């Protein structure tokens, strides 16, 4: 981003690494392969854990030191978000909207970091997935292993809820005086609110169809194309000077959605294997028939 000029981006839609993987390991193709093999050996289907890899927070006694490590990890992640957010702020036009995916546990820290960088918090959009994996401690099972006679008294009690939604923090670079003058000067600042059914767009996106898997796409946290297309429709005004930016391009779904909407885009990705995936996906030249979903 440091190589880009000031005030060129109309919107940013991005899915940066969550704090799950912030410490100890890069979220790259070799790490994905390691996790796939581990999941295969254990009979599990879970590749992404709630605890940052290498943080020393997995398991252990919940004592003062454990909570301090947890807090230090959060603050380090927040500072990392501020660093790239500060650069993103520079290259965004006044009124530019940014939509940043993150977990329900750390989205507040992402929002705080980006506010520190100069953005103004507007909303949290809920992306409701089609399913969620129950995680955490099953206390009844734990007590059974310990030999407690009345373990069934704790049937249904777990250490967390089933997580079936992801947060999208919506922030905006400060307007140039007001919405009208910002729109006239920069073509930014507004949200498109008409839904496919003619209603008014809510901040909950659900019933989004999954994509068919692509054999060459080894990225394991690919967002549905229909989701990214809808975010493009809501947050990116379609005019000749619009530009979409994604500093964490991953497998390129945001860039593909921008291309299919005939919008200019810039994407950045540090994992070489993902660049090849992005280029293959961007070879798509004809827009697939859009499948409407309720929102």
Q: pTM of this prediction?
A: 0.84
Quote the pLDDT of residue 34.
65
Task: Provide the sign of the torsion angle of the four alpha carbons 42, 44, 47, 50, taken in this order.
Answer: negative
Q: Which helix (H) or strand (E) holds 93?
A: strand 92-102
Measured distance CA(252)–CA(267) in Å, rounded: 8
Average pLDDT over residues 203-227: 76
Q: Which helix (H) or strand (E) holds 163?
A: strand 163-172
Q: Which two tokens stand for residue 75?
A: 């603050």
Measured distance CA(273)–CA(28) in Å, rounded: 8
- Structural domains in the chain, sorted by start: 9-130+168-281 (3.40.50.150)
Q: Which two tokens stand for residue 142?
A: 């734990």
Quote the pLDDT of residue 66.
86
Average pLDDT over residues 267-288: 78
pLDDT digits (tens, 9 = 90+) for 135-160: 788 999 999 999 999 999 999 999 88
Burial class (CB in 10 A: 0-12, 13-18, 19+), 67: exposed
Measured distance CA(231)–CA(280) in Å, rounded: 22
Average pLDDT over residues 190-214: 88
133 against 27, higher pLDDT:
133
Which residues 6+ apart lie within 8 Å of 44 measured at CB? 38
Does residue 223 have a pLDDT over 70?
Answer: yes
Q: What is the dihedral of CA 144, 149, 150, 154, to 10 degrees?
A: -10
Question: Checking phi first, is residue 135 left (phi over 0); if not, alpha (psi -120 to 50) or beta?
Answer: beta
Quote the pLDDT of residue 25.
47
Q: Which helix (H) or strand (E) holds 142?
A: helix 139-146
Report residue 39's pLDDT band, with 50, 70 and 90 as the boundaries.
low
Report residue 293's pLDDT band, with 50, 70 and 90 as the boundaries.
very low
Backbone angles phi, psi at 169, to 5 degrees: -75, 125
Q: Which helix (H) or strand (E) holds 146?
A: helix 139-146
Residue 94: closest CA among 208, 182, 202: 182
Report residue 44's pLDDT band, with 50, 70 and 90 as the boundaries.
low
């Amino acid at each position: 981003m440091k190589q880009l000029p000031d005030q060129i981006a109309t919107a940013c839609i991005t899915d940066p690494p969550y704090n799950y993987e912030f410490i100890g390991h890069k979220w790259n193709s070799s790490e994905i392969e390691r996790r796939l093999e581990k999941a295969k050996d254990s009979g599990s289907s879970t590749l992404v854990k709630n605890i940052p890899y290498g943080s020393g927070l997995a398991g252990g006694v919940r004592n003062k030191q454990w909570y301090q490590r947890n807090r230090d990890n959060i603050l380090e992640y927040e500072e990392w978000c501020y660093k790239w957010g500060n650069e993103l702020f520079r290259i965004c036009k006044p009124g530019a909207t940014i939509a940043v995916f993150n977990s329900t546990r750390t989205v507040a820290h992402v929002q705080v970091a980006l506010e520190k960088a100069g953005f103004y918090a507007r909303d949290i959009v809920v992306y409701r997935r089609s399913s969620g994996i129950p995680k955490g401690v099953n206390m009844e099972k734990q007590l059974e292993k310990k030999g407690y006679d009345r373990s069934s008294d704790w049937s249904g009690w777990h250490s967390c809820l089933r997580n079936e939604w992801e947060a999208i923090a919506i922030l905006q670079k400060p307007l140039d005086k007001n919405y009208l003058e910002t729109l006239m000067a920069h073509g930014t600042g507004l949200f498109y609110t008409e839904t496919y059914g003619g209603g008014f767009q809510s901040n909950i996106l659900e019933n989004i169809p999954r994509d068919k898997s692509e054999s060459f796409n080894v990225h394991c946290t690919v967002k549905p194309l229909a989701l990214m297309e809808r975010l493009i429709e809501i947050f990116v005004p379609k005019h000749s000077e619009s530009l979409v930016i994604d500093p964490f391009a991953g497998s390129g779904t945001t860039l593909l959605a921008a291309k299919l909407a005939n919008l200019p885009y810039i994407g950045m990705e540090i994992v070489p294997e993902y660049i090849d995936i992005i280029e293959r996906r961007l070879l798509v030249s004809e827009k697939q028939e859009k499948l409407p979903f309720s929102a």
